[in-house]
A and B are shown apart, each in its own frame.
Chain A
């Protein structure tokens, strides 16, 4: 029984506000530019009151919104989502339920006030959202979620020609993780997003010209923009000795800045991750978080491609970790939102970790995994690039600045050796029935599992340096891996070990069909 749905009428309101917002900044800049031109400026010949005519530029965008609103139709036909839109250019899009990887609902404060949500439908293909429904009533999202994900657990993925979706009682949700306020703040403290937020804010302020004169008003003309620190470094380099007071001020300033960054990070966490809740409903994981903008994401368990556990030094001290998964939907698109959506647990106690992992990947017991080290001579191979870079940097330094490069050489060489040794010492890999695991990093530790039935391709690679030392690396390709994500890419393996591992993984991947 195909039922037809339309967008919620407030869609128009949101669209117009969106256009106005996009329009406001350029219009303001233009206006300021024109008025600062003075009475003899470039715009003086225009009739007075020309500014209001700028609003005419909004008309096409608003008209497009109205057309979209009036023509948009959503239908459930069989096991497909059918979306029609367009007046002149008619567009009909069929999205089979089985192809839908994720279904996200985004609800900011205004959305919540009006009881509507923005829905994003993601499929495996492409980089963006397959469909974006902005905005629909909250109930429509619940209905879509029910229809799309219903009957997936037992039935095969593609059921064709089944026109009737039976009404089932709402399945029970089991809470796997809930972050109280304290943990959310702690998460912000540990994640240290502050620098990103401050950087973005600074960039925005600089772009919009708010900062002009801000620094000079704050510090006076002499200490303009970090000059103090620069003078200090310059003084040390030129061998004038350390001015004690200035050094103390610099250290205090630096400490204060670091603290400020952490505090901003905690505020970020509060806004972004407030009331973080992970629940399991049948075979789906549902994540909800956010203070102003509530995000409700659904991650079908069978769509989980990789799972990564991450621990920084403070995490280890506090016996915490963070867990994220990667899904195939919309790889690389809208990075900020997606990355947060795939956070299964921004912060979790180590004692609770096994239970969570068991929910996502049944049968995965991290304690039972037999980790294998890399090649015994891996250090020799790993240390070389570091030494080379240290040498080059020192050389450039020595040419441009002179003999002060010598202590720099000592420091950078020591660091290269220590970091390579620690990196190799902590590098481990393991095979498991569920897939292949890699553990790497010594300050920030990452453990990643790529599930065998999600491995898309396996490659065995050798660089000329690898070949000289009879080594090789094995890289596992999965869907939806981001640029910055921790991949299963095991370097410095013995050549035969690597070749055999690649063969075994390829066979393991080939022999696991889609299991659900």
Chain B
């Protein structure tokens, strides 16, 4: 801590994620929806074509069920990232980081800086296209052995990594 000037990020103010993360999450959700929808469609086709003893009303109903499920998934993929974005924030100060998230089940996770074992900054293909990154903290804990914060601007994630570089070789276990 003494060897580097404190980052401007470490001001103890709550920050939101990069708004572009909504778009990334949506893209991911749509891809998921497309895959699940396609698989369900194939399954539906097989069932309708092979099951002979099926009553006619069920045969007509099944495509509607598929349509409703797919629309619900798509709506969820479109809507959920906005809600999740609204309920996610992080706060960094000299002592550590606090991450808040969760729409229905909410959690605020504090990780003291002195307990950080090591950190990662990762970028998936979608994130790379939008210049975003995921900051990952590893602790020696059990539930929170790995704490991820995705949807950050890549530069911010790198700055966070700098801030959380271990300050000494003290052994926090």
B141 interface contact, C-beta 8 A: yes
Q: Which of B15-32 contact A (CB under 8 A)?
A: none
Question: Could you tell me the distance between the alpha carbons of A475 and B110 in the complex, rounded to whole angstroms?
Answer: 10
Within the complex, the shortest CB–CB distance from A343 to chain B, in Å, comes to 20
Question: Could you tell me the distance between the alpha carbons of A508 and B152 in the complex, rounded to whole angstroms?
Answer: 28
Contact of B115 among A462, A475, A503, A509 (CB under 8 A): A509
When distances are taken between beta carbons in the complex, the residues of chain A under 8 Å from B104 are 463-464
Within the complex, the shortest CB–CB distance from A475 to chain B, in Å, comes to 7
Most buried by A among B106, B147, B171: B171
Question: Could you tell me the distance between the alpha carbons of A481 and B142 in the complex, rounded to whole angstroms?
Answer: 6
Known: A157-B170, A157-B171, A457-B144. A509 touches B112 (CB 8 A): yes
Most buried by B among A457, A479, A507: A457
B98 interface contact, C-beta 8 A: yes
Within the complex, the shortest CB–CB distance from B144 to chain A, in Å, comes to 4
B110 touches A124 (CB 8 A): no
When distances are taken between beta carbons in the complex, the residues of chain B under 8 Å from A505 are 110
Within the complex, the shortest CB–CB distance from B170 to chain A, in Å, comes to 4
Contact of B109 among A459, A463, A507 (CB under 8 A): A459
Most buried by B among A462, A481, A503, A505: A462
A264 interface contact, C-beta 8 A: no
B169 interface contact, C-beta 8 A: yes
Within the complex, the shortest CB–CB distance from A474 to chain B, in Å, comes to 10
When distances are taken between beta carbons in the complex, the residues of chain A under 8 Å from B140 are 124, 328, 456, 479
B109 touches A457 (CB 8 A): yes
When distances are taken between beta carbons in the complex, the residues of chain B under 8 Å from A456 are 111, 115, 139-142, 144, 172
B107 interface contact, C-beta 8 A: yes
B52 interface contact, C-beta 8 A: no
B34 interface contact, C-beta 8 A: no
Interface string of A490-509 (1 = CB under 8 A from B): 00000000010011011101
Known: A477-B142, A503-B110. A99 touches B171 (CB 8 A): yes
B2 interface contact, C-beta 8 A: no
Contact of A510 among B95, B109, B139, B171 (CB under 8 A): B95
Question: Could you tell me the distance between the alpha carbons of A512 and B142 in the complex, rounded to whole angstroms?
Answer: 19
A480 interface contact, C-beta 8 A: yes
Question: Could you tell me the distance between the alpha carbons of A514 and B112 in the complex, rounded to whole angstroms?
Answer: 13
Question: Could you tell me the distance between the alpha carbons of A457 and B147 in the complex, rounded to whole angstroms?
Answer: 10
Interface string of B130-151 (1 = CB under 8 A from A): 0000000001111110010000
Q: Which of B64-114 contact A (CB under 8 A)?
A: 95-96, 98, 102, 104-114
Known: A328-B140, A461-B107, A462-B106. A506 touches B170 (CB 8 A): no
B173 interface contact, C-beta 8 A: yes
B143 touches A477 (CB 8 A): yes
Contact of B142 among A463, A480, A510 (CB under 8 A): A480
CB nearest neighbor in B for A464: B104
A3 interface contact, C-beta 8 A: no
A479 touches B142 (CB 8 A): yes
A238 interface contact, C-beta 8 A: no
When distances are taken between beta carbons in the complex, the residues of chain B under 8 Å from A463 are 104-105
Question: Could you tell me the distance between the alpha carbons of A153 and B95 in the complex, rounded to whole angstroms?
Answer: 27
Question: Could you tell me the distance between the alpha carbons of A480 and B143 in the complex, rounded to whole angstroms?
Answer: 10
Known: A461-B106, A510-B95, A510-B112. A477 touches B172 (CB 8 A): no
When distances are taken between beta carbons in the complex, the residues of chain B under 8 Å from A502 are 108, 110
Known: A99-B171, A503-B110. A511 touches B95 (CB 8 A): yes
CB nearest neighbor in A for B144: A457
Question: Could you tell me the distance between the alpha carbons of A479 and B138 in the complex, rounded to whole angstroms?
Answer: 12
Residues of A with Cβ closer than 8 Å to B?
A: 98-99, 101, 124, 157-158, 303, 328, 331, 454-464, 467, 475, 477-481, 499, 502-503, 505-507, 509-514
Q: Which 4 residue pairs are nearest across A and B when measured between Cβ atoms?
A: A456-B141, A510-B112, A506-B110, A477-B141
Can you list 9 A-B contacts (CB < 8 A)?
A: A98-B171, A157-B170, A157-B171, A460-B107, A463-B104, A477-B144, A478-B141, A479-B141, A510-B96
Task: A158-B170, A456-B144, A506-B95 given; name 10 further pairs at CB < 8 Å.
Answer: A98-B171, A457-B112, A457-B141, A457-B144, A460-B108, A461-B106, A461-B107, A462-B107, A479-B140, A510-B112
